[in-house]
């Protein structure tokens, strides 16, 4: 940040007016005492975030400059970067600008390995940075790694103040980084950002929205100066003790109290000779001669018009350029003759300023005023000269050149330059900027077929990496044409189908595009294999499973012809997923091949995604141990840690796996967190919503459970995600039966069966079968239940379906009221690791045994009670307790208040009470849910608050939200 004394958003040192060294800016800050104090307090208590917002010219930069000069800043490193109105195809420009000058200050600071990822961005720091890590195949992951590296460097430089000015011009990647940085908030960091509130979009306002606990925040909204403050500012600029109230009012009315406008107006009236200096005082002419123009535009233009023709041409060139430039660019735009004299004149009159050897306007508002005064032909000509002049620089600033070519209506050269700028952006992992440039070219440039196809392909890949599917989908379908070469046409079709899949679009349209792409891509076996394996995924309604398997086999055959390890990993993952879903045991061979290919540790995105594909489907099919191994390895991978989408996918799958295994401790909190984080990922959200509905059922919240499960089922149907559907229908069926809604239970079972059999994918029926038989028996449809058992037995007899033996034993146990069959089911469920299903089967057998007077039911019931209590399955527990009361089964004394055996930790019952209280339930509602008296609930709640050292239910809810725990107590 330059050390200057201006009182508005300027980027220059103290300027003079009229060429005689007269001050343009005030030596002291005026009217911002409270705002400066708020900023100082925040900076003094890092980690902290300071936002300074206000309209153009109101004094944001001056306020920050004053802040950085205070004694409280001693010992802190100050790093300053700025956003610019014309974007260059260079990611994180303001952050790079801020860090580029730190040099050997990073030497010996103990940087971690991830700091090496910033080497391509900051070659100036390379001698002191760790080696660059192995590149990742996914630009989103690579970008996340760079973010981590930058945070590591900033944290090592602490205590540090990072200033980013003019955030209203921020590029998407810098905005994303700032959001990431503020979410992390290194202990010694203060971030100061300035922006114009009226130009701030939603993504900008969200940058400082979510801050971690313990982060100090100051938000200062600068208003224009009052009449009195305007007079004080004028006095400071004029170097006098004060001005008259009449003069202050006159000036305030014509400048609206904007400090920059006050500076400009005073510079103008002095140039007019309306203010004269007599000794150390200023005298003014009669007020009626002070016809000061209102606002900034008129005063700036009048000052420019007072320049010589040569100096005025320099000012016009600078206005078109919008950013400071060197002498060579100005010379190329204006002819060069008399350049130095003209430039000195413009600087002497305070119209232009010099900053680090570059020349430009003191404020963007002044540049805008001059630019808007130019005629259209003059502007167009100057933009053309600007493009030519900037093109002579080395390296050429492609983004700025493209901007000027576009404004000069040079559309053909603009298309070439913009494409080159997009290529540069992609190389630097700034895919969002590439999408912006390429989409603009595809919309507006005159392109031949070859250019159109090439740019459409680049746009499609950039949109996938930047998660900007909607914008690309507006343009790419229209780019497909018969005049394109088949490989190009096929690649565009593949890209459109991938983007449709990303947005949850029409699966039929997606499939048509893939089939057409497969026919076009004979000369691209890599892309053809990817297309075929996508066609193998059974997600499109109405397509026989045999056709999907045909495409899967073709993709596997073609994979041997592709010399690309990442493509091979992708195909193995998707093909393995499909084969698991149909119970084909050869999926195990593909999983083994994948693990050999990756040496058991996925490193790149496609490798990790392959682990997710097989691991997730294995979890649904009941291969819980294999699923656990693959998902854990994938989540540990660098690719998953650097890729938000992939990380969320693994976490969603692990949530489902934990539910299936009966590992419910802390599961509700992780589910609640994921539900918020998955709003943009509907396919992952289905799985988490199913678990949320199942947990709600386990807590006895039947209405909530049924609604949530119904919503998840509808989304699964819409997206063709049928394998997860039986888990949702199973829980919804049990909830409906508990409420006596047999008709709804049977309807849900029949619909699910119909969808799965129509798709010829009976494997998921093994998860649905137990609840389906219970519903059909309850409805008196025993023949239909028998038919379903026969169908599942015949269809799955020779398939690899771990849940099948348990499901068949359970179904036969219900049909024959056979406790031994149900106990066999419980043992089979236990064997595959399905803990909750095992306990439910055991409880169901217990009821039959106790009905028959068989004493084996007593220890089994006690075992079920302990298991439900350990799970926190309140609804199941209360059902088992009711069974004990009905048959007079004595149970071991259960701990009241948590004193005996639990110490300072919560007992299972206290934990149940705490969880329900934290959701806002009253004591009466908790008592009804847990089959307790209100007095007992009150006793438990008192014990909870004593053990957790809290005084209110509000604090209890907060503890649940943040996941605080005491010795394994509430919450986990």
pLDDT in tens, 405-449: 999 999 999 999 999 999 998 887 788 889 999 999 999 999 999
Q: By mean pLDDT, which of 289-298, 339-348, 483-492 is the weakest? A: 289-298
Closest CA to 667 of 688, 637, 636, 697: 688
Task: Give me the mean pLDDT over the 120-131 stretch.
Answer: 86
605 and 709 part of one domain: no
156 and 96 part of one domain: yes
Check whether 955 has a pLDDT greater than 80. no
pTM of whole model > 0.85? no
Query: How high is the pLDDT of residue 734?
Result: 96
Check whether 374 has a pLDDT greater than 60. yes
Q: For residue 567, what is the DSSP state?
A: H
Check whether 239 has a pLDDT greater than 90. no
Check whether 573 has a pLDDT greater than 80. yes
728 and 856 part of one domain: no
Long-range contacts of 850-854 (CB under 8 A, 24+ apart): 850/883, 850/887, 850/889, 852/819, 854/819
**How remote is the C-alpha of 852 from its chain's centroid?**
58
Q: Is residue 576 included in any domain, yes or no?
A: yes
Check whether 637 has a pLDDT greater than 90. no
683 and 776 part of one domain: yes
Query: How high is the pLDDT of residue 275?
Result: 60
CATH code of residue 330 = 1.10.10
Distance CA 936, CA 917 (A): 14
761 and 625 part of one domain: no
Query: How high is the pLDDT of residue 697?
Result: 95
693-734 pLDDT, tens digit per residue, is 999 999 999 999 999 999 999 999 888 888 999 999 999 999
Taken in order 901, 903, 905, 906, the sign of the CA dihedral is positive
Which domain-ending residue is among 798, 826, 851? 798
Bigger pLDDT: 125 vs 859:
859
244-258 pLDDT, tens digit per residue, is 788 888 778 777 787
Distance CA 972, CA 346 (A): 68
Q: How many domains does the chain have?
A: 7
Check whether 199 has a pLDDT greater than 80. no
Q: Is residue 163 included in any domain, yes or no?
A: yes
Q: Is 506 exposed, middle or buried (0-12, 13-18, 19+ CB in 10 A)?
A: exposed
Q: Is 16 helix (H, G, I), strand (E, B) or coil?
A: strand
107 and 206 part of one domain: yes
Closest CA to 152 of 199, 88, 109: 109
CATH code of residue 916 = 1.10.10.10
78 and 190 part of one domain: yes
Q: How confident is the model at residue 23 (pLDDT cuts 50, 70, 90)?
A: very low
Query: How high is the pLDDT of residue 265?
Result: 76
Check whether 299 has a pLDDT greater than 90. no
Q: Is residue 885 included in any domain, yes or no?
A: yes
Q: Is residue 963 included in any domain, yes or no?
A: yes
H or E segment to which residue 696 belongs: helix 682-698
The per-residue DSSP string of 313-380 comes to: HHHHHHHHH-S-B-HHHHHHHH-STTHHHHHHHHHHTTSEEEETTEEEESSHHHHHHHHHHS-HHHHH
101 and 217 part of one domain: yes
Distance CA 473, CA 457 (A): 12
The rounded percent of the chain whose pLDDT value lies above 90 is: 46
Query: How high is the pLDDT of residue 542?
Result: 81
Query: How high is the pLDDT of residue 896?
Result: 41
- Angle (nearest 5°) at CA 555 between 551 and 558: 140
Average pLDDT, the chain: 85
Phi-psi category of 124—alpha, beta or left, where left has phi over 0 and alpha has psi -120 to 50?
alpha
Distance CA 412, CA 447 (A): 8
Q: Is residue 98 included in any domain, yes or no?
A: yes
Task: Give me the mean pLDDT over the 265-278 stretch.
Answer: 65
Distance CA 610, CA 568 (A): 10
669 and 657 part of one domain: no
The rounded percent of the chain whose pLDDT value lies above 70 is: 87
Q: By mean pLDDT, which of 149-158, 241-250, 739-748, 867-876 is the weakest? A: 241-250
Task: Give me the mean pLDDT over the 339-357 stretch.
Answer: 88
Check whether 947 has a pLDDT greater than 50. yes
Q: Is residue 300 included in any domain, yes or no?
A: no
Closest CA to 491 of 445, 459, 448, 447: 459
Q: How confident is the model at residue 972 (pLDDT cuts 50, 70, 90)?
A: very low
Polymer length in residues for the chain:
972
Which domain-ending residue is among 640, 661, 682? 661
Task: Report the DSSP pairing between strands 352-355 and 358-361.
Answer: antiparallel
593-615 pLDDT, tens digit per residue, is 999 999 999 988 899 999 999 99
Q: How many CB atoms lie within 10 A of CB 894?
A: 12
Percent composition of the chain: helix, strand, coil (DSSP 3-state, to 5): 65, 5, 30
967 and 868 part of one domain: no
Q: Is residue 845 included in any domain, yes or no?
A: yes
Q: By mean pLDDT, which of 662-666, 830-834, 841-845 is the weakest? A: 662-666
111 and 212 part of one domain: yes
Check whether 8 has a pLDDT greater than 60. no
Q: How confident is the model at residue 530 (pLDDT cuts 50, 70, 90)?
A: very high
Q: For residue 59, what is the DSSP state?
A: S
Q: How confident is the model at residue 924 (pLDDT cuts 50, 70, 90)?
A: low
- Angle (nearest 5°) at CA 670 between 666 and 672: 115
Task: Give me the mean pLDDT over the 128-144 stretch.
Answer: 79
Contacts with 765 (C-beta within 8 Å, 6 or more apart), sequence order? 726, 753, 756, 772, 788, 791, 792, 795, 796
- Angle (nearest 5°) at CA 595 between 591 and 599: 175
Closest CA to 36 of 78, 7, 57: 7
Q: Please answer whether residues 801 and 726 qualify as being in contact, where contact means their C-beta atoms are separated by less than 8 angstroms.
A: no
472-502 pLDDT, tens digit per residue, is 998 999 999 888 999 999 999 999 999 988 7
Classify each residue of 387-401 as buried b or exposed e, where b means 16 or more C-beta atoms within 10 Å of its C-beta: bbbbbeeeeebbbbb
209 and 83 part of one domain: yes
Q: Please answer whether residues 607 and 568 qualify as being in contact, where contact means their C-beta atoms are separated by less than 8 angstroms.
A: no
Closest CA to 837 of 698, 665, 654, 670: 698
Query: How high is the pLDDT of residue 267?
Result: 75
Task: Report the DSSP pairing between strands 216-221 and 48-53.
Answer: parallel
Q: Is residue 450 included in any domain, yes or no?
A: no
Written in H, E and C, the secondary structure of 826-853 is: HHHHHHHCCHHHHHHHHHHHHHHHHHCC
Check whether 772 has a pLDDT greater than 90. yes
Domain that holds residue 940: 894-972
Bigger pLDDT: 954 vs 878:
878
Q: How confident is the model at residue 208 (pLDDT cuts 50, 70, 90)?
A: low
């Amino acid at each position: 940040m330059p050390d200057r004394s201006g009182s508005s958003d300027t980027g220059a040192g103290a300027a003079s007016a009229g060429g005689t060294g007269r001050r343009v800016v005030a030596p002291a800050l005026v009217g911002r005492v409270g705002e400066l104090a708020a900023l100082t307090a925040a900076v003094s208590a890092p980690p902290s975030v300071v936002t300074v917002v206000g309209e153009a010219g109101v004094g944001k930069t001056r306020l920050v400059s004053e802040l950085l000069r205070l004694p409280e800043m001693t010992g802190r490193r100050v790093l300053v970067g700025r956003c610019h109105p014309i974007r260059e195809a260079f990611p994180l420009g303001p952050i790079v600008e801020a860090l580029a000058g730190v040099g050997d200050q990073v030497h010996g600071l103990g940087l971690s390995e991830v700091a090496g990822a910033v080497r391509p961005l900051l070659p100036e720091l390379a001698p002191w940075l760790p080696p660059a890590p192995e590149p990742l195949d996914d630009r989103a992951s690579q970008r996340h790694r760079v973010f981590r590296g930058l945070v590591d460097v900033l944290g090592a430089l602490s205590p540090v103040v990072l200033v980013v000015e003019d955030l209203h011009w921020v590029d998407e990647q810098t905005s994303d980084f700032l959001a990431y940085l503020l979410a992390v908030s290194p202990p010694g960091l203060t971030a100061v950002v300035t922006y114009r509130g009226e130009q701030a979009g939603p993504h900008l306002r969200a940058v400082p929205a979510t801050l971690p606990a313990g982060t100090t925040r100051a938000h200062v909204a600068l208003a224009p100066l009052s009449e009195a403050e305007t007079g004080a500012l004028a006095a400071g600029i004029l170097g006098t003790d004060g001005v008259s109230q009449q003069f202050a009012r006159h000036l305030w009315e014509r400048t609206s109290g904007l400090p920059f406008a006050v500076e400009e107006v005073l510079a103008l009236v002095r140039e007019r000779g309306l203010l004269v200096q007599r000794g150390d005082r200023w005298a003014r002419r009669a007020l009626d001669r002070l016809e000061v123009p209102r606002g900034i535009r008129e005063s700036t233009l009048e000052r420019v018009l007072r320049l010589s023709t040569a100096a005025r041409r320099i000012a016009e060139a600078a206005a078109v350029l919008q950013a400071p430039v060197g002498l060579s660019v100005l010379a190329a735009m204006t002819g060069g003759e008399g350049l130095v004299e003209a430039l000195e004149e413009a600087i002497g009159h305070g119209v232009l300023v010099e900053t680090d050897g570059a020349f430009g306007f003191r404020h963007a508002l002044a540049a805008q005023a001059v630019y808007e005064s130019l005629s259209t032909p003059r502007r167009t000509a100057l933009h053309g000269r600007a493009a030519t002049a900037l093109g002579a620089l080395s390296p050429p600033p492609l983004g700025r050149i493209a901007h000027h070519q576009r404004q000069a209506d040079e559309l053909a050269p603009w298309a070439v330059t913009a494409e080159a700028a997009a290529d540069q952006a992609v190389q630097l992992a700034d895919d969002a900027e590439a999408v912006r440039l390429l989409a603009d070219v595809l919309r507006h440039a005159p392109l031949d077929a070859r250019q159109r196809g090439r740019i459409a392909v680049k746009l499609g890949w950039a949109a996938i990496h930047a998660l900007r599917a909607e914008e690309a989908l507006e343009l790419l379908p229209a780019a497909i044409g018969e005049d394109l070469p088949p490989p190009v046409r096929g690649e565009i079709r593949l890209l459109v189908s991938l983007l449709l899949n990303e947005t949850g679009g029409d699966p039929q349209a997606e499939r048509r595009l893939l089939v057409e792409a497969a026919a076009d891509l004979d000369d691209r076996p890599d892309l053809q294999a990817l297309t075929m394996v996508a066609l193998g995924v059974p997600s499109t309604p109405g397509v026989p499973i045999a056709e999907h398997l045909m495409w899967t086999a073709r993709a596997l055959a073609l994979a041997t012809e592709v010399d690309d390890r990442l493509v091979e990993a992708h195909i193995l993952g998707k093909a393995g997923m499909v084969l698991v879903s149909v119970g084909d045991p050869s999926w195990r061979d593909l999983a083994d091949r994948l693990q050999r290919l990756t040496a058991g540790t996925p490193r790149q995105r496609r490798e990790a995604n392959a682990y997710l594909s097989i691991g997730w489907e294995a979890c649904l099919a009941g291969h819980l141990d294999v699923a656990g191994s693959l998902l854990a390895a994938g989540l540990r991978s660098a690719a998953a840690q650097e890729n938000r989408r992939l990380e969320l996918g693994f976490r969603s799958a692990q949530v489902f796996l934990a539910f299936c295994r009966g590992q419910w401790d802390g599961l509700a909190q992780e589910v609640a967190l994921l539900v918020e984080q998955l709003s943009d990922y509907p396919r992952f959200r289905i799985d988490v919503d199913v678990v949320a509905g199942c947990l709600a059922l386990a807590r006895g919240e039947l209405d909530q459970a049924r609604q949530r499960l119904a919503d998840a089922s509808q989304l699964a149907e819409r997206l063709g995600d049928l394998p997860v559907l039986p888990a949702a229908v199973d829980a919804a069926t049990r909830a409906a039966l508990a409420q006596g809604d047999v008709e709804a239970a049977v309807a849900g079972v029949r619909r699910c069966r119909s969808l799965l059999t129509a798709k010829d994918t009976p494997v998921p029926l093994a998860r649905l079968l137990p609840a389906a038989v219970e519903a059909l028996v309850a409805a008196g449809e025993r023949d239909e239940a028998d038919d379903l058992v026969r169908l599942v037995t015949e269809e799955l007899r020779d398939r690899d379906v771990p849940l099948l033996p348990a499901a068949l034993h359970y179904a036969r146990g219900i049909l024959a009221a056979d406790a031994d069959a149900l106990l066999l089911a419980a043992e089979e469920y236990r064997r595959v690791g399905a803990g909750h299903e095992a306990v439910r089967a055991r409880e169901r057998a217990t009821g039959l045994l106790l009905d028959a007077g068989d004493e084996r039911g007593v220890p089994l019931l006690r075992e079920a009670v302990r298991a439900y209590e350990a799970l926190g399955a309140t609804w199941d527990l209360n059902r088992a307790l009711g069974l004990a009361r009905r048959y007079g089964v004595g149970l071991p004394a259960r701990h009241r208040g948590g004193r005996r055996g639990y110490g300072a930790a919560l007992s299972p019952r206290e934990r149940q009470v705490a969880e329900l209280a934290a959701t806002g339930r009253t004591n009466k509602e908790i008592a009804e849910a847990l089959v307790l008296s209100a007095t007992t609930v009150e006793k438990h709640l008192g014990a909870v608050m004593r053990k957790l050292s809290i005084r209110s239910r509000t604090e209890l809810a907060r503890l649940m939200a943040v996941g605080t725990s005491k010795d394994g107590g509430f919450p986990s």
